[in-house]
Amino acid sequence: GAKNIGFVGLGNMGANMASNLIKAGHKLHVFDISKPACEGLAAKGATVYAKTSELAKNSDFVITMLPNNAIVDASYDEMTADGVNKDTIFIDSSTISPDLVKSLQKKISAKGARFIDAPVSGGVPGAEQATLTFMVGGTEAEYNAVKAVLECMGKKITHCGVYGMGQAAKLCNNMMLAISMIGVSEAMNLAVRQGLDANVFAEIINSSTGRCWASEIYNPVPGVCPTAPANRDYAGGFSSALITKDLGLASGVANASNSPIPLGSLAHKVYQSLCDKGLGNKDFSVVYDLMKKEKFS
């Protein structure tokens, strides 16, 4: 049946996810520090709140889709400061550290409500089309309680294990994505510089062993994938700043688990250099654009 769902963080991902919950018939209670972001959802029928603590009190489920650890942590402090409804389940879908998940879970369960991690993969296209993959960390009962709501925004909802295991899976996936985007960019650039047509080469890799999401759905070369950010000067999508943050989180868990990540570390440096060049707000596939202008070294 229809539920009251709070949604905090209506950015590139959150706005689309919240819209899909409205389409599925739920009643949305929303907040974002950006006024235009709130207005966009209000136009679709959501109720906008000035305080997240009030938003949470009117919600059976609260979903947060915020940039990073610090913002998620502060947002939950504010949202739960004057108590919580015991029946509310808080679901964080941002990409944050597994350690922060564990600490938020302790704080919120001490207040009497439930908190789980459910980060997503699939990018903005997946958020638009409600085909995201959700990686859930929590108890079996919590997973069963949130599954139907998450199914309004995604097509694969997987229980990964205890609190933080959703993020553990997410960070490993994104490290791979970060590496493969650089790989696709290098190969596309090398192919084009040898005289190959970008579309012909993309068609080859996408039916060959080089095929991956970055080559097939999100190709960094303009004109190859019609809906990819490459076709709009790398605007929107998944920012270089956010993937750099994710690689920092991956490096933290690699360090803590004593796991070697030579390419993950190198990828971290590459995206950090994009941010240093002022490209932090561009989609991370802008790494191709930079290579296009560089020389062999």
Q: Which residues are catalytic?
A: 170
CA distances from 155 to 135, 144, 187 (A): 11, 15, 31
Concatenating the DSSP letter of every residue in 190-213 gives HHHHTT--HHHHHHHHTTSTT--H
Which of these ranges, 7-15, 54-62, 84-92, 253-261, lies near ligand NAD under the rule CB under 6 A?
Answer: 7-15
Query: Which residue number has the CB closest to ligand NAD?
Result: 11
Nearest to ligand NAD of 30, 261 (CB atom): 30
Nearest to ligand NAD of 65, 178 (CB atom): 65
- Give me the 21-60 binding string for ligand NAD, x by CB under 6 A, dash otherwise: ----------xxxx--x-----------------------
**137 lies in the binding site for ligand NAD (CB under 6 A):** no
**Closest distance to ligand NAD from the beta carbon of 249 (Å):** 9
**13 lies in the binding site for ligand NAD (CB under 6 A):** yes
**279 lies in the binding site for ligand NAD (CB under 6 A):** no
**Closest distance to ligand NAD from the beta carbon of 294 (Å):** 25
Q: Is beta strand 114-117 parallel, antiparallel or unpaired with respect to 154-161?
A: unpaired
**Could you say which residues in the range 187-226 bind ligand NAD, by CB under 6 A?**
none
* Selection from 175, 165, 157, 124 nearest residue 14 by Cα: 124
Rounded CA-CA distance 166/35 in Å is 30
- Give me the 94-123 binding string for ligand NAD, x by CB under 6 A, dash otherwise: xx------------------------xx-x
Burial class (CB in 10 A: 0-12, 13-18, 19+), 231: middle
With CB under 6 A as the contact rule, the residue among 20, 75, 167, 173 that binds ligand NAD is 75
The answer to whether 89 and 80 have CB atoms below 8 angstroms apart is no
Rounded CA-CA distance 209/212 in Å is 9
